[in-house]
Amino acid sequence: MTGDVRRVALPPRTVDSRLIVVARAKRAQDYDAVLDVLVGAGIRSVELTLTTPGTFEHFPHLLARFGEAIDLGIGTVTNAVDLARAIDVGATYLVTPITATDFVTRATEAGVPIVPGGLTPTELFASWSAGASAVKIFPAGQVGPGYLKDLRGPFPDLVAVPSGGVDLAGASAWLQAGAAAVSVGGPLLGDAFSGGDLNALRDRAMAFVEVCAR
């Protein structure tokens, strides 16, 4: 039973846009120019990854600069120390690629939405029943949108966000299958963090925004 479990809802902008952009840069200073373009293209939710050096240190600057326009989450949280620090710096939401129910409990107690990852029904239900805001089907590219339709049988209330290998066509298919949002990285960002054309980035972002619009 999960009806009485305390659960912190995902931020309204993320829910309404149905699109989370996963930003994985070589260094945190590279976020600024890319986020400028994403905001202008209509992106309303970005997950900054801890595999990018300096993310924690640069986060207050990004929050001050972009926080009025977009939800800024912190992802690739894989240990309790980083979980606590992400909460302390003011992450709008947290994302972890793993199933760790203690992470869910700590984030929920702090009032911060959390999206833990998993692939099997057991993993996904463990996080959901612990109070996750949503569950991240990862790596989504290994199963496809039909997997979510199958999960809907035993878990009709599951709020799911597929991540990993979701391209433009996949985004549409996952949303049609009942995903609350899609988490997109490379297919949208392309070479933007390695000197790529920012006008092309804007066009790709706008295409995803259009596909994910309700």
Catalytic residue among 47, 123, 149, 210: 47
pLDDT of residue 3: 58
Residue at 163 is within a domain: yes
3-class state of residue 41 by DSSP = coil
Structure tokens at 2: 């999960």
CATH number for the domain spanning 159: value is 3.20.20.70
Are 60 and 67 a contacting pair, CB within 8 Å?
no
3-class state of residue 76 by DSSP = coil
Residue at 9 is within a domain: no
Residue at 10 is within a domain: no
Instruction: Answer whether 0.85 is exceeded by the pTM.
Output: yes
| Pairing status of strand 182-184 against strand 160-162 | unpaired
Contacts of 101 (CB under 8 A, 6+ apart): 126, 127, 130
CB atoms within 10 A of CB 78: 15
Backbone angles phi, psi at 10, to 5 degrees: -60, 155
Residue at 3 is within a domain: no
Range(s) of the domain holding residue 152: 17-212
Residue at 35 is within a domain: yes
- Token pair 């297919």 is found at 187
Respond yes or no: is residue 136 known to be catalytic: yes
pLDDT of residue 2: 54
Catalytic residue among 57, 68, 136, 149: 136
- Token pair 């900054």 is found at 48
Residue at 113 is within a domain: yes
The ranges of the chain with pLDDT < 50 are 1
CA 163-78-191 angle, to 5 degrees, is: 45
Residue at 26 is within a domain: yes
pLDDT of residue 1: 43
Respond yes or no: is residue 109 known to be catalytic: no
Domains identified in the chain, total number: 1
Residue at 105 is within a domain: yes
pLDDT digit string (tens) for 132-175? 999 999 999 999 999 999 999 999 999 999 999 999 999 999 99
